[in-house]
Structure 1
Amino acid sequence: MDKALVMLSGGLDSATCLYWAREKYDATAITFNYFGRLENEKRATARLAEAARVSVIEIDVPFVREAADAGDGFAGSDLKWAAYVPARNMMFYSIAAHHAEYLGAKWIVGGHNVHDASFFKDASKGYIEKMNALFRESCLSCDGNPYQIVLPLADMDRVQIIRLAQKLGVPIEITWSCHAEGDRHCGRCYSCRQRLEAFGKIGISDPAFSR
């Protein structure tokens, strides 16, 4: 089987990608501990990897900050601004590529969806295609067959992702998407609101909120 390196954050999207990749490839997860990363995210990442029986490469990047932790000057009307990180995906995918080359991985799996790309420009398919073009030029040990980023959720909305997660048997109840620290999802941040809206459209409760 081809090897794949899955970007795992602990949220529903990346968990779905992990289970998607596990069915197709010899999967390993990679996760990034940036400044102020929530302990709930870290715990969810570890639990998801354990449930999927994959190992995790854990990368500490304490200099990387979300806009909410960057001080004045990074504010906007959209709640997504709080989670904005300048050059996030350029940094994270480059680090993943470094590890992919040593692992001999063919694929780097990212969890961006159609909603992400509408706001975060470095999550768009066009941006990722440019990164893949750079990887084709930079991988010296790939013998003309370099690792590539693949986005299985790129054309999906949250309802479609939930249905795929259910089909793949993702343990949705242990995922963590909330941007607030606490025992439960806050239900107010943009990630919580998107999840609640999507599960509401399907007509079921989000199991992560009922824990």
Structure 2
Amino acid sequence: MPAPNTPESNAAVVIYSGGMDSFTVLHRALREGRRVHALSFDYGQRHARELETARRVCQALDIPHQVVDIRAIHGLIDNSALTDASRSVPEGDYAEDNLAATAVPNRNMILLSLAIAKAVNIGADRVDYGAHGGEHVLYPDCRPEFVEAMRHAAGLANLAPVEVHAPYLDRTKSDILADGLAMGLDYAETWTCYAGSELACGQCASCRERLEAFAANGARDPLAYASAPGHS
């Protein structure tokens, strides 16, 4: 690894959760010829299986991958069904009520801040993340205004500029999947479900949105589901 503040040519830090959006973003950066450093975060999420998925993918691609343990802040962000195991993960399509239940307080600002620090540390000029303009645009930290504000803050906070890059900001989940399928990506190497069980539940908003994206693309989801409408 280069010494701190030593530029690494054409490097990008990709926030990689192990889900289908960040999986596509990761491969898109690689296709652009970027020297990718994948960065995952353990913040006490109940769907931590995504981290193991991310590890396997990065090992197969032979790219640097760092899992950052930030579980020490769990008590600051546990007011969410994704971080509080005592709460049920809401089922059904994305709507205002289950959006609120699955929003992790300030998550993307926290993760982007750490990823920007990593980029500055290794001399990378870009941080990529998978915000998109799908039906759950109500998540404030996936809105264009938030991304632009983080770009501005990254420029103010550091001596070297770091671009916050969200390539699918104006695209839907179906668009992301279409792009990945065109790249020949295998989405069996992703994990989307919020429930954190052995099989994807098929009923949480994240599973349902994923299944709808596959249906919109006339493709079959390679993941196994415990229960999935229209999927057998």
Does the alignment pair 1:56 with 2:71? no
Match of residue 172 from structure 1: 187
Structure 2 residue 208 is the aligned partner of structure 1 residue 193? yes
Kindly tell me: are residues 135 and 116 of structure 1, through their superposed partners in 2, closer, same or farther at Cα, counting changes over 3 Å? Answer: farther
Q: Which amino acid aligns with 2:66?
A: I
**Structure 1 residue 95 corresponds to structure 2 residue 124:** no
TM-score (norm 2): 0.81
Q: Please tell me the residue identity of whatever aligns with 1:191.
A: S
1:114 equivalent in alignment to 2:133? yes
Q: Does 1:80 pair with 2:99? A: yes
| 1:119-138 to 2 correspondences below 5 Å | 119-138=138-157
Distance in 1 (CA, whole Å) between partners of 2:59 and 2:100 is: 32
Structure 1 spans left out of the alignment, 5+ residues: none
Contact 2:11 2:124 in 1 (8 A): yes
State how far apart, in whole Å, the 1-side matches of 2:22 and 2:188 are.
Answer: 14
CA contact (8 A) 2:42 2:48 kept: no
SS of the aligned residue for 2:134 comes to helix
Matched, 1:43 2:43: no
Deviation of 1:183 (Å): 2.3
**Residue in 1 that maps onto 2:28:** 20
Give the CA deviation at 1:163: 1.0
Q: Does 1:33 align with 2:42?
A: yes
CA RMSD of superposed structures (Å): 2.2
1:5 is aligned to 13
Task: Measure the CA separation in 2 of the matches of 1:3 and 1:87.
Answer: 26
Shift of 1:77: 5.5
Identity score, percent: 29
- Deviation at residue 117 of structure 1 after TM alignment: 6.0
Name the one with the larger helix percent: 1
In the TM superposition, structure 1's runs of 4+ consecutive aligned residues that sit over 3 Å from their partners are 69-72
Does the CA contact (< 8 Å) of 1:116 and 1:123 recur in 2?
no
Q: Deviations over 1:51-94 (max 9, x none)?
A: 3321112111112435114578xx99532333211111111111
Amino acid at match of 1:5: V
Question: For residues 37 and 100 of structure 1, what CA distance do their matches in structure 2 show?
Answer: 27
Deviation at 1:203, TM superposition (A): 2.1
Q: Residues of 2 paired with 1:47 and 1:60: CA distance?
A: 18
